[in-house]
Amino acid sequence: MTLRVLGVDPGLTRCGIGVVDVERNRRATMVAVGVVGTSPEETLDKRLLVIALAIDEWLDRYEPHVLAVERVFSQLNVSTVMGVAQASGVVIAAAARRGIPVALHTPSEVKAAVTGSGTSNKEAVTKLVTKILRLDAPPRPADAADALALAITHAWRAGSGAAVATTGPGSLSLTPAQRAWADAEAKARRGR
């Protein structure tokens, strides 16, 4: 069975959206990618409406099994955090209306899943998303690549159950980045 994940990198100015199909063997294929943009000159209600209408269209068109959204975390810029949180809420509510499960992933989880390091920069994430999805050109802007990375992260995590086997027969199909991410996840669980 193929798992279809719609990944969302939420934001008011640029909201990245990407759809990825992932097979049991973890082979990922991009279905669609895009960015919804809104102008800071528009009122908040109009900006959120643009995002809501776009996510409704993507959910209806691509019928994902699950939605993966970047988890909002504290930043120094409170207004940026608020915009991301508001955009996330609109996206999550759209999925809930359709009964589509929503998973939240932190930026460091996504970086670790895709690159093998939770501290990788955006260029590294974009480069590996391009390689993983066998794309001819990197998805641009970075918000689009981040949305695809979120979808890949969730599919790889969901495809493994609660955790990915890092030793034994099941580990042979893991990429080095997947193995590093699974090891980091297992270590974090032991530390709880």
In this predicted model, which residue has the larger pLDDT, 131 or 79?
A: 131
Q: Which residues belong to the annotated binding site for Mg(2+)?
A: 9, 70, 143
Q: What are the pLDDT digits (tens) for 147-160?
A: 999 999 999 987 64
Q: What are the pLDDT digits (tens) for 24-62?
A: 999 999 999 999 999 999 999 999 999 999 999 999 999
The residue type found at 33 is V
Note whether 20 and 148 are within 8 A (CB): yes
All domains of the chain in start order, with CATH: 3-162 (3.30.420.10)
Q: What is the pLDDT of residue 10?
A: 95
In the residue annotation, 185 being an active-site residue is answered as no
Instruction: From the candidates 21, 70, 109, 146, give the one annotated as an active-site residue.
Output: 70
Give the three-class secondary structure for 8.
strand
Task: Share the mean pLDDT of the chain.
Answer: 85
In whole angstroms, give the CA distance from residue 80 to residue 43.
15
Give the three-class secondary structure for 92.
helix
Please spell the DSSP secondary structure of 25-87, one letter per residue: T--EEEEEEEEEE--TTS-HHHHHHHHHHHHHHHHHHH--SEEEEEPP---S-HHHHHHHHHH
Q: Which residue has the tokens 């100015």?
A: 13
Comparing C-alpha atoms, which of 1, 71, 70, 3 is closest to residue 31?
3
Q: Is the pLDDT of residue 191 over 70?
A: no
Q: Which residues belong to the annotated binding site?
A: 9, 70, 143
Instruction: From the candidates 21, 109, 143, 146, give the one annotated as an active-site residue.
Output: 143
Instruction: From the candidates 9, 21, 109, 185, give the one annotated as an active-site residue.
Output: 9
